Each structure stands twice: as structure tokens, then as C-alpha cells.
Amino acid sequence: MSPAIVLGSDHAGFELKEKLKRRLLERGLAVEDIGVHAEQSVDYPAVAHALAEAVASGRFERGVIVCGTGIGVSIAANRHPGVRAALAWDESTARLSRAHNDANVLALGGRSLDHAVAQRILDVWLDTPFEGGRHARRVALIEPQAEAEVK
């Protein structure tokens, strides 16, 4: 089977998360949905931290997280070493987040993005490989200990 994706949202991202889950399944990917499973209110950092930990631990290669704007969940997810959460608002930012930054978590806004656009963003993000090369050294510098090792 194809690699699994961990997927999560808060209440503001629930509707888009459900659409993205269907898209992932249509693509033949296994999906672990860590919630929410209804539109009940939840604190977005809790979901973002759970998803980021699943990626940081190596259980999942990639994750997709949704809140109202994508901003809050991206900030929370990026607190975890090894997580490179990118907020994408169009296909170009999705492509560059993978090609240049090797983003392993995609953050999207359920209330700030047209849902059809969000699905196209997801497709581009999944289909774009990391370019490596000069970008690999820069990505390695993202972790604080790496910067000290390069100096």
C-alpha cells in the first residue's frame, strides 16, 4: 500500500478535512484521521501537537492539518523537531514548500480557502518531490543544533 498520511483538524477545519480525506482515499493513500470527528469545539494546538508528534516520531512520513486559517496549526506543529509544516494558500506555495523546503506537514485554512482550491493544493503538495541539492543544506539548517554544526 502507498504511504499513510496522518490527517487532523480543529472544528473550523472539519468540513475541509473531510473533503481532503476523501481525496486522499481516492488517490489510494491510507489515512489515519486523528480528529476531530464532528464540528465540536476543540483547541487547535492539541490536534496540531498530536499530528506533529506522529510525524516527528516517524510513524508517518507526512501529515495534513486544517484549522480556520491554517496559521495556528502551522505554528503549533512547527514547535516539534523534525516537523516542517508549511501553510499553503495556492498551488505555487504548495509546490515550493515541497521542492525547496521538504515540508512534511501541509497546513490549510478551512475558512480561508475555497475547498476546490485546497484539494488542488493537496494534489500538488503530494505530487511534488523535494529537489535536494542546494536546498538540502538549507533544510538541514532549520534545526537549531544543525546551525551550530555548520559554523
Catalytic residues: 67, 100
Which residues are bridge partners to 32 per DSSP? 6
Phi and psi for 146 in degrees, rounded to 5? Answer: -70, -40
d(Cα 43, Cα 49) in Å, to the nearest integer? 11
Torsion-angle region of residue 29: left (phi > 0), alpha (psi -120 to 50) or beta?
A: beta
d(Cα 84, Cα 77) in Å, to the nearest integer? 8
